[in-house]
A and B are shown apart, each in its own frame.
Chain A
Amino acid sequence: MRFALMITLVLDIMTTAAILFIVSAGLLIVFGVMKIINFAHASFITVGAYAALVASRLGLPPMLAPAMAFLAGGLIGAAAERVVVRRLYGRPLDAILATWGLSIVIGQLVTLAFGREVQFVPAPVSGTVMILGEDYSGYRLLMVLAAIVIAAFFTGLLNGTRLGLSTRAVIMNETLAQGLGIDSTRVRLITFGIGCGLAAIAGALITPLASVDPSMGLSWLIGAFMLVMISGGSLLTLGLSCFVLGGLQVLASTFISPILGGLTIAVLAAVALRLRPEGFARA
C-alpha cells in the first residue's frame, strides 16, 4: 500500500505542477515583458471557463474549447490594454489596482450574461489510465501534456519568430528597442492579449475538474501571482517553481491537512521573495 500511495503522490505532484504552470504562464508573460502584474488574470481564467461552457452548450467538439477561450481572452485582453493598462506603465502599484478593478468589471459582466450560479462542463476525456498498477485520472494526466505543449509553443514563439525577437528586445531594453524601430507599443498590446488568452485557455482546461462560477478564477490568482513573483521572468524557472511549490502543497495537503496545504504556496513564496527579492531566474 505504501508504494501505491507513493505513485499516487508523484502523479498528484506532477499534475498539480502542470495545472499551476498552465494557470500562471499567462501572468508570467505579461509580467516579464511589461513589468506589471495583471490582477485581472483571475477574471480571464473565468472568461475562458465560460467560453468552454458556451462551447459545450453549443455542442462543439471539446478540442475547440481552448481555442474559443483563447480568442475570447485575447480579444478582451487586447481591448483592456488599449483602454486601461496602457496608461499605467511606470505605476506598478496602480497597475495592480486598476487591473483588479478590471477584474471586478469583467466578473460582473460575466454574471450579467450567465447568471451567478455554479455551472458545470463535462470532461472531454473521462476515465482512468493505469500507471504502474494505479488507476489515475486520465484528464489530469492530460494536463501534464497540455503544460508541456504550452511551454514548448511559447518558448518556440519567443525564440523562433520575429515577434518573439522583438519581444525579447523589449524585455531587455525597451528604450533601445524603440530606438531601433521596434514598435514596443504593439509588442505590449500583443503580449497582453496573449497573456490574457493564455489565462483563458487555463480556465477552459481546468473547468472539467471543478466547476464554473463568476468568481472561480480568484482562488488561482494569489498562487499564480506568488509563483510569478519568485520566478522572475523565466518560463523555465516558473516550471521549476510550480514543481517545487506545487509538490510541497500536495505533500502538505496529504500529510497535514488540505486546508493548510492551500497556504503552502503563498507562505513559502513570500519567504523566498524575502531571501531573493528579484526572483530566482538567472536572466
Chain B
Amino acid sequence: MASVSLPGLPSWLIRIGLPSIVAMLLVIAGPWILDTYMLNILARALFVAIAALTVDILWGFSGTLTFGQSAFFGIGAYALAIGFTQFGFGPWQALLALGAALGLAAAVAGFVGWLAFYPGSTPLYASVISLVLPIVVVQLLYSGGSFTGSSSGLVGFESFDLSLEGWFRLAGIAVVAMLVVASIALSSDAGRVLSAMRDNDERCTYLGIDTSLVRISLTVITGTIAALAGFGYVGFSGVAAPENASFVFGTQLVVMVALGGRGTLIGAVVGALVIEVASAYLSSSLPFVWELIVGLAFVAVIVVLPGGLFGSLRDASIALRRRFAAAPARASSPVALATLEHTAAAPDRDDVVVEADHVSRHFGSLSVLSGVSFTARRGELVSIVGPNGAGKTTLIRCLADGRERSEGTVRIGGRPIDRLAPDRIVGLGLGRKFQAASVFETLSVADCLRIARVRIEPPSFIQASPVLALPAAARAVVESSGLAERLGEEARFLSHGLKQALELAMVLALEPQVLLLDEPTAGLTRVERQGFASVLTALVTRERLCVLIIEHDLDFVRQISSRIILLHQGRVALDGPAADVVGDPLIREIYTGNKRPRGGELTT
C-alpha cells in the first residue's frame, strides 16, 4: 500500500487540543473562582458527567438506548463503600476496592451484553435489559442487610484524604481526559464503525463485522468507566445510597444527554453539569417548577429537536456553512484513493466456489424452497430467474446466512457454512449486495468504503486515515461511476444509481470470491444498466469472481450470463447454459402461466 504523509493532523490538534487546554485551565483555576458550595456540587456533577458520557457513547453514537448505566455507577460506588466499611481505609484496601469495582462492573457488563446483543436481537430488547439491570441491582442492595446498608445506604467509612479543591480538580481532569480520548476514538476509523452499526446493522454484519461482539465490548468498556465514575463520586461524597444505582438515576442520565445533545459528547457533559447545578440551587426555592421545565424541555427535544442543544447548534452551523460556502459540504477531511497491489494474481482455475445440496426452507407447513441443488464456479456469471414467489431471495439468504435454511448443506469456497452467522460467511469469501441499496446514510462515501475494509484491515483507533486503499475491482467501480469525485459527501445525498454503485464497491472491497446480487438493475437507467453489465463482465473475466445474480430483466440476463437457473415454486426447474435456458419453452410457460407461447420477446 502506498504510504502518504498525514495532512489531517494539524486540524485534528486544533479541533481537540485547543479546547481541552482551555478546559484544563478552567478546571485548575476553578477553586480560586468558585465558592465552596458550588465546588461541592460541581465535583459531584463532574462524576455524574462521566456517567452521562458513557450514555452518549452508547446511545448517541452506537444507537443503543440504555437506562442501565446507573447500575454500573452504583457498582463502583458500593464497591468503594463496602470495601472501606468492611476493611477500613488504606492503600491496599483502596486498590482492592478499585479492583472489585472494575472487575465486577466488567463481569456484569459482559453478562448483560451477552444477554442483550445476541444475533437477531432488537434494539428494543437491549433497552429492556438495560431497564431491568438497575432494578435488579437495587433490589440486591436492599436485600443485603447491614452488608450493603439496605435502605439506609452506607455512610461513615473513611475515604481518601483529598481536599475539596483536590477532588474538584481530579474530577474535572477526568472529564476533560475522557472527552479527549472519546473524541479521538469516535472520530477515528474504528469509531466510524459504531456509527455504521447505528445506521445499518445488517449491512455491517454482511461486511463481516461481528456487531454483537462490538456491542458487547462497548458495553464492557462503558460499564467499567461508569463504575469508575461511581467510585469517584462516593469516594468524594462519603455516602453510598441505593438511589445511586436506581432506574430513576439512569433515566436522568438519558435526559441530560438528550437535552445537551446526543452524539456530541460535549452535550452530555454540559447537560449533566447544568441539570445538577440547577437542581441543587433550585431544589429549595422552586423544586417542582424546575423539574417541570426539565420534563417539558425533554419532551420537546425528543419530539421536535432530536439533536438537543449542541446537536441543533451543530446542524445549524452546517446549514449556515452550506448556504454560504461555494463548495458542497464535506462530511470528512479530504481523502486520497489508492489501489491495493495483489500479491497473487487472480487464479486461472475453475474451482467450484458455491455448492448447494438439497437446500430446503420451510415455514411450518409452507415450503418456500425444496431440494435446491446446484454448483457454481469461478468465472461463472449465474443468473437466477423465476416469477415472484419462486424463492429467489430466500435462496440467497440461505447461501449467505447459515441459520436460514431448514435442510441441506451449503459450501462456500469448499467449506460448509453449517449454522454460521453472516459475518462469518463473509469471511469464507462471500459478498452480498441487497436489493434496496444498503449503505450507511450518515457516513461519507469514503467512510462507507473504509467500513467495508474493516474486516481485512483492522482500523485505527486514533486517526481517520486520509488514504483510502481499495482493491482494483472496487476502485474501478468507484471511478467509473463517478463516486471518486464525491468521496466526501454523505451517502444519503447520493442518487439511487450512485448508492447502488457505492454498495457494489463496498462489497467488492471485501475481496470476495463469490458475489450475490439481488435485482441490482432495478431502478437503473438504460445507460447505468449497460455500465453495470460491463462491470460485471469484467469482474467475472478479469478477477475470476463467481457472480450469482437474481434478475427479472431477461434481456439483461441473456446478455451477460454464462448460466441461468430457473426457479419455480421453490424448485430448480432449469439449470444450464444461458442460450439453452432462454430458448426452452418451459421458461415461457412458467412466466406466463400458460402452455402456449405468446410469441415475441419475453420481458418482465
Contacts and interface: CB of A to CB of B under 8 A. Distances in A.
Q: Do chains A and B touch in the complex (CB under 8 A)?
A: yes
Interface of A: 84, 87-88, 92-94, 96-98, 100-102, 104-105, 107-109, 111-112, 116, 218, 222, 225-226, 229, 257, 259-260, 262-263, 266-267, 270, 273-274, 277
B295 A263 contact: no
B96 interface: no
Contact of A274 (B125, B258, B291): B125
Nearest to A40: B299
A74 to B, nearest CB: 20
Contacts of B129: 270
A226 B132 contact: yes
B139 A222 contact: no
A93 B123 contact: yes
Given A93-B123, A222-B135, A267-B132, A259 B143 contact: yes
Interface stretch (B114-122, B347-355, B434-442, B496-504): B114-122
Contacts of B247: 222
Contacts of A229: 128
A160 to B, nearest CB: 32
A89 to B, nearest CB: 12
Interface string B278-316: 000000000011011011101100111010000000000
B296 A100 contact: no
Contact of A104 (B115, B121, B136, B295): B295
Nearest to B300: A101
Contacts of A263: 135-136, 139
B302 A260 contact: no
A189 B327 CA distance: 47
B125 A94 contact: no
A97 B288 contact: no
Contacts of B294: 104
B295 A262 contact: no
A84 B302 CA distance: 10
B302 A101 contact: yes
A111 B288 contact: yes
Nearest to B255: A101
Contact of B295 (A88, A93, A105, A260): A105
Contacts of B132: 222, 226, 266-267, 270
B142 interface: yes
Nearest to B150: A259
Contact of B139 (A105, A259, A270): A259
A98 B297 CA distance: 10
A274 B118 contact: yes
A72 B301 CA distance: 27
B148 to A, nearest CB: 11
Top 9 A-B pairs ranked by shortest CB distance? A104-B295, A101-B299, A101-B298, A108-B292, A105-B295, A259-B143, A98-B302, A266-B132, A259-B142
Nearest to B254: A97
Q: Which of A84, A100, A102, A112 has the most CB of B within 10 A?
A: A100
7 contacts: A93-B123, A96-B127, A104-B295, A105-B296, A222-B132, A257-B143, A274-B115
Contact of A97 (B65, B131, B296): B65
Most buried by A among B115, B294, B295: B295
Main SS at interface, chain A: helix
B61 to A, nearest CB: 15
Interface in B300-355: 302-304, 306
A240 B412 CA distance: 47
B303 A88 contact: yes
A84 B128 contact: no
Interface in B248-296: 248, 251, 254-255, 258, 288-289, 291-292, 294-296
A273 B132 CA distance: 12
Contacts of B295: 101-102, 104-105, 107-108
Contacts of B289: 108, 112
B302 A270 contact: no
Nearest to A261: B139
Given A92-B124, A97-B258, A277-B125, A260 B139 contact: yes
Nearest to B293: A108
Q: Which of B115, B143, B248, B294 has the most CB of A within 10 A?
A: B143
Interface residues of B, number: 39
Nearest to B123: A93
B39 to A, nearest CB: 29
A222 B250 CA distance: 14
Nearest to B258: A97
A117 to B, nearest CB: 13
B303 A98 contact: yes
Given A96-B65, A105-B292, A274-B125, A266 B303 contact: no
Nearest to A37: B124
A112 B292 CA distance: 9
A164 to B, nearest CB: 27
A93 B65 contact: yes
Contacts of B127: 93, 96
Contacts of A109: 292
A102 B297 CA distance: 10
Nearest to A93: B65
Contacts of B288: 108, 111-112, 116
Contacts of B65: 93, 96-97
B248 A218 contact: yes
Nearest to A80: B299
Nearest to A109: B292
A266 B124 contact: no
Given A105-B295, A109-B292, A259-B142, A277 B131 contact: no
Nearest to A110: B288
Given A104-B295, A112-B289, A274-B118, 17 more contacts: A93-B123, A96-B65, A101-B255, A105-B296, A108-B292, A108-B295, A109-B292, A116-B288, A222-B247, A229-B128, A259-B143, A260-B140, A263-B135, A263-B139, A267-B136, A270-B132, A274-B115
A262 B143 CA distance: 11
A32 B6 CA distance: 55
Contacts of B298: 97, 100-101, 104
Contact of A266 (B118, B136, B255, B299): B136
Contacts of A277: 120-122, 125
A267 to B, nearest CB: 6
A105 B299 contact: yes
B198 to A, nearest CB: 12
Contacts of B121: 277
Contacts of B124: 92-93
Contacts of B251: 100
Contacts of B248: 218
A273 B139 contact: no
A105 B127 CA distance: 22
A222 B131 contact: yes
A118 B289 CA distance: 19
A226 B131 CA distance: 10
A266 B258 CA distance: 26
A257 B150 CA distance: 14
A88 B301 CA distance: 12
Contacts of B304: 87
A229 B139 CA distance: 22
Contact of B299 (A84, A92, A112, A274): A84
